[in-house]
Amino acid sequence: MRVVLIRGVCAALRSSFPVFPRRCVRAGGAHSRLVLRAASATSSTGTRAKLTTGKFEKLSPEEEEEEADSDFSVREVVQSTKEAVVTLQKNNPATQPSLAILQLGEDDSVLEINKKMAGKMGLNVTQICLGKDCTEDEILEELLKLNDDPRVHGVYLHLPPAALTNRVLNSLKPEKDDSLEGKTVLLVGGESPFRLVLQCLIERRGMVTAKSHWDSKSLEREQLTEHRYIFLHRAVGSLVLSSLHSLFSFIVRQNVVRSCTRWLQEQQYKPWRLRSLKLQPLTPVPSDLQISRAQTAKPVNHLAEEIGLLPEELEVYGRSKAKVRLSLLERLNSQPDGKYVLVAGVTPTPLGEGKSTVTIGLVQALSAHLNLNSFACLRQPSQGPTFGIKGGAAGGGYAQVIPMEEFNLHLTGDIHAITAANNLVAAAIDARMLHEATQSDKALFSRLVPSVNGVRRFSPIQISRLRRLGIIKSDPSSLSPEEVNSFVRLDLDPEKITWHRVVDTNDRFLRKITIGQASTEKGLTRETGFDIAVASEIMAILALADSMEDMKSRLGRMVVGTSRSGTPVTAEDLGVSGALAVLMKDAIKPTLMQTLEGTPVFVHAGPFANIAHGNSSVLADKLALKLVGEDGFVVTEAGFGADIGMEKFFNIKCRASGLRPNAVVLVATIRALKMHGGGPSVSAGAPLPTEYISENLNLVSGGCQSNLKKQIQNAQQFGVPVVVAINVFRTDTPAEIDLVCQLAKECGAFDAVPCHHWMQGGRGAVELAQAVKEATSKPSYFQFLYDLQMPIVEKIRTIAKRIYGADDIDVSAEAQRKIDYYHEQGYSTLPICMAKTHLSLSHLPERKGAPTGFVLPIRDVRASVGAGFIYPLVGTMSTMPGLPTRACFYDIDIDPITEEISGLF
């Protein structure tokens, strides 16, 4: 017999009705049992319910309500439920217990009765009426919507028996089941006319009855569960049978409150139950791909459950990765944030210094070895570097994200979504220019606002454009010819279009192209170009948005060019901003993965650190900070050296997010310090000179006293403690490592520790984890480097002098003209995102250490208005990398039988 009564209803009943002694109800099973006495009795000649000739005369709704009011048991249910609602809303003012009635036809009597009953208890009631001839699939479709709606806490199926199929009943979530159909009632007592009438009444309500005698042996034989109602009918005289009807009606509404209370409890923060994965490091260390493949990752839904995510907050992509819905932020809104740690680095060599590896090793140490909740937040790698010269970005050695193939290839398609959205804007620009060049105002208006069934209507996005033009009209026929002209003509200047197409491949021959060569383009040729996809402003927006609404607003504000009259033209002017948000609706959700030791990682966004801010998303950080809890740690990484990635993290990302960091981990390698101490040049793909693989304390000291010291000071200007992490390579000597630790502390670092995570995993970064824990326990006095109200030139000058060490800046005439224009357009209060080389603190890549006595040239200034920053160009910056002679793709292959990938690193 199928029993689907919501768990916990027995407790509700138990609190509302007297029960028989425990000895009478201890039937088999571990659950507590409930025995209910029957409702109050009255004269057999009562006018409200009669027992005559074996028939029960049903009461009218008004009579039922009046009878319910007169019944003590019902009043007690109502009162206890009202008190529960008051208590619930006192602690959760925004929550209202809600009952949904799903019925066939539009009979409002059911709604009115339920509203009256629910009103007595403080519940909301909504009615969903389906057509009387609707199909089972249509009922299921509505039912599944109610199952997934967190605002609905109970569902009452007011459907004919033929519609209550097994598919329908099985589809209703038990926690939302507020119907009586299918419930089991055990009638305890001897045979009597009253028992027959009571059974008849109960079964009319769609429930199933079972019988038992009074003796305990008979009760023990019953398979009682907490899902059964138990009614005793040893009574004197007749009952007011309508009381039973009302009693059930109020009990099931009481269930809605119970369901709502349970739902709220489920929404609370859940302590982690993280199961770490064991590592068995090998010597020598195998390739990254071999290490990744040797570890068996936890199913991502298991990981999600361990860190307190609810099933409805997860969108699974295969076995090892999943999107996390932003509703988590609302659910954990009152949960205090954990500690916020940024991983930055000294000015790197072209080989990179391992910031991602340190980030992953640190969280593995925190969670798997110190038993502290921790989350890594990383950028998604671009396909360009993966197949170009750098390779993947999943970390390395025994500190990496797994599966590394999935991390480095496609992931959940966010970059593809950005590519599609970016190129939709590009297509819209050129199409609009073509149509404006070849059509009259009248023809343009007719096509932009087409007649549908004889009626023209503006779309919402067109209404927004009219408002920006100062035209407060909604009837297309009411526009004057001048207003029509303003509405239909963007009048883009082809020479001032700033929007490029993008592709996520290093393709140098797309840097400058000519479009419009086909005869169908009416001779409208122009020069443009491609950027790599991660250089798109849409990527920067994804990284800085803190909600879907914020992202949509930023997408609409993107400036794609300038009209011939000098007015900025935006994506919203093009009418494309809503479509962009649709393309990005899944990309805005961070992707959950895990490290080699089973600790959680968010992978989200991947803006370039030269023309954008080079940090992972605000949303990933915010979600992670809630999930780790007040005593947990979120470790996020900034791109390139601290002078670029860290400075932009503080001045741009922290302004956008409102988050404040507790500590900075500054990654240094002996290799990079030797280069800044006067060592020879380092080139990707070339063997390292002898100085880098043998002990040289003079070079190490020189690098510490110049670049390391300057980057420590840069972090301290923001009021944040610095822990130096020495990413140890096999060629580093103990004397070199000890010297860096000593000099880093003398230069102002809170602590400096060697890290062996590449060879040992989290165990090799425990000392770093302990240092970070101690540093974050100290007060942080975070401050921004500059005030947004400062003029654009002064903000640029502040960064150049205080972060890079320049004497001053030299602003070109073109750059100054752009600065004046941005000031006129109201963009002067945006933060600054410097676009310069990452290989030197100066604008000259060959100048290592901590250069002084130079003037920083500002050759141009551009604006990413949607992303929300001004970016000055220092020197020549490429937004489309090229492939090297020996690209990484030479080594990448797949076995067609096993589908195993080789060659990724």
So which residues are the catalytic ones? 355, 357, 379, 390, 609, 640, 729, 758
Measured between alpha carbons, how far is 152 from 176 in angstroms, rounded to an integer? 8
Residue with tokens 């654009």: 792
CA 42 to chain centre: 60
DSSP 380: P
Query: Phi-psi region for residue 49, left (φ > 0), alpha (ψ -120 to 50) or beta?
Result: beta
Tell me the CA distances in angstroms from 486 to 254, 443, 449, 492, 559, one per residue in order: 60, 14, 14, 13, 18
Whole-angstrom Cα distance, residue 804 to residue 814? Answer: 23
Element holding 585 (H helix, E strand):
none
Q: Are 611 and 880 in contact (CB under 8 A)?
A: no
* DSSP 8-state code for residue 653: I
632: which residues sit within 8 A by CB, 6+ positions away?
338, 339, 372, 373, 374, 375
Residue carrying the six token digits 């604006």: 863
As a residue count, the chain comes to 905
- Nearest residue to 716 via CA among 670, 775, 631: 775
Report the distance separating Cα 798 and Cα 812, nearest Å: 17
Please state, in angstroms and rounded to a whole number, the distance separating the CA atoms of residues 357 and 397: 8
How many angstroms separate the most distant Cα atoms in the chain?
Answer: 111
Give dist(CA 498, CA 529) in Å, integer.
Answer: 10
Say if residues 56 and 197 touch (Cβ distance below 8 Å). yes
CA neighbor of 396 nearest in space, from 504, 502, 304, 288: 288
Contact criterion met (CB below 8 Å) for 202 and 183: no
Evaluate whether 188 touches 219 at the Cβ level (below 8 Å).
Answer: yes
Task: Please enumerate in sequence order all residues whose Cβ is within 8 A of that of 15, keeping only pairs 6 or more positions apart, or say none.
Answer: 80
Distance of CA 785 to the CA centre of its chain: 29
**Are the beta carbons of 738 and 681 closer than 8 angstroms?**
no
Whole-angstrom distance, CA of residue 663 vs CA of residue 350: 26
CA distance 19 to 38: 10
Residue 666's CB is within 10 A of a number of other CB atoms, namely 27
Q: Which residues have C-beta within 8 Å of that of residue 378, sequence separation ≥ 6? A: 356, 359, 360, 393, 401, 601, 602, 603, 616, 636, 637
- Residues with Cβ within 8 Å of 841's Cβ and at least 6 positions away in sequence, in order, are 347, 641, 643, 707, 710, 803, 804, 805, 847, 849, 850, 851
Q: Using CA atoms, how far apart are residues 747 and 105, in angstroms rounded to an integer?
A: 78
Residue type, 544: L
Residue found by looking up tokens 């809503």 in the block: 578
Backbone angles phi, psi at 381, to 5 degrees: -70, 150
